[in-house]
Every structure is written in structure tokens, then in C-alpha cells.
Amino acid sequence: MKAKDLMVPIQDYLKPEATLREAVNLLRVARKGKERQGVKGLPVLDRDGKVVGMLAMRDILKAVYPSYMSMMHLGDFAWDGMVESLAKQVGNDRVEAHMSRDVVTVRQDKPLMECVDHIVTHNVARLVVLDKTDKVVGMLYERDLFFSIVKAMLDENNRGGK
């Protein structure tokens, strides 16, 4: 199996100049497969369809998390309502200000082990799948890799490989 056999073809993506408010709205209703049930992360594509970033749940958490809190141990001194008021403030920020710029990508014709390698070494939950011209063609999820491993493990005819 190759990356393209396991990936979900690209349907929804974000633009760098969109606001976080627009972005989280899309995250909430984006298609996963056929259903609009929301996703936990979307790629950010520029006008040419090149991937420039990734916006995932953790990036939204980091968007409301002030940088000074990570400089010292200040978590004990937060107050009720702090997250909510900061969420309102960052709603108008642009996606490019908060997206992760280190996007982990894989070519669509690569074997699954390379996908496992990327997910384990970069500690991410999803990969952006590219074609030969660096155009984004799909997303490959950790969960789908897990299911394909489960299938291989449980498949009686497939013990130890062919």
C-alpha cells in the first residue's frame, strides 16, 4: 500500500489571510470522508495550491495561550474567564499568525512505512500528501494508518507479509 491508497483526498483547506474565527468555523464543519462532521486540523494553502502551514487543534490552544505563560510557571495564577476573553481577542487574528509552519508532507507514491516514520519522528497526527509537482492532493491520518496496521495484524492470510 502507498500513501495515496490510504489518504483522504483534499476537500477543505484554509487560506493564510483568513481569520481564526473563519478557520475554526471551517474546522467545525469540514468534511471527513463524506460527512460534514468536522476535522482536528486543516492544511493552509496559498494561491498556487502550495502548502504553507497547518492549523490544528493544538494551534488553536496555543493561540489563546500567552507566550509569557510558558516563560515561567504562571499557570497557578490564571483566572476564570481568561481563556474566553483571549479567544474573543484572537478571533480576528490571521491564520498565518498562528499556523504551524513546519508541515510534515509525504509524496503520494511513498510506502506506508515512510508515513509511519514521519508521524512517529515528527510527533504529528496527520500528513499532507503531495503529488510530483508539490500540489496538495490529500491528507493522511494517524487513525487510518492505525486501522491499516490493525487489519494487517489480524488478517489470517497476511501473517509475516506475502
Binding site for another protein (CB under 8 A): 66-69, 71-74, 76-77, 79, 82
Q: Minimum Å distance from CB 114 to another protein?
A: 33
> Is 98 or 107 the residue whose CB approaches another protein more closely?
98
> Is 77 or 84 the residue whose CB approaches another protein more closely?
77
> Is 69 or 152 the residue whose CB approaches another protein more closely?
69
Q: Minimum Å distance from CB 60 to another protein?
A: 17
Helix H, strand E, coil C: the string for the chain is CEHHHHCEECCCCECCCCEHHHHHHHHHHCCECCECCCCCEEEEECCCCCEEEEEEHHHHHHHHCCHHHHHCCCHHHCCCCHHHHHHHHHCCCEHHHHCECCCCEEECCCEHHHHHHHHHHHCCCEEEEECCCCCEEEEEEHHHHHHHHHHHHHCHHHCCCC
Q: Minimum Å distance from CB 17 to another protein?
A: 17
> Is 93 or 142 the residue whose CB approaches another protein more closely?
93
Q: Minimum Å distance from CB 23 to another protein?
A: 18
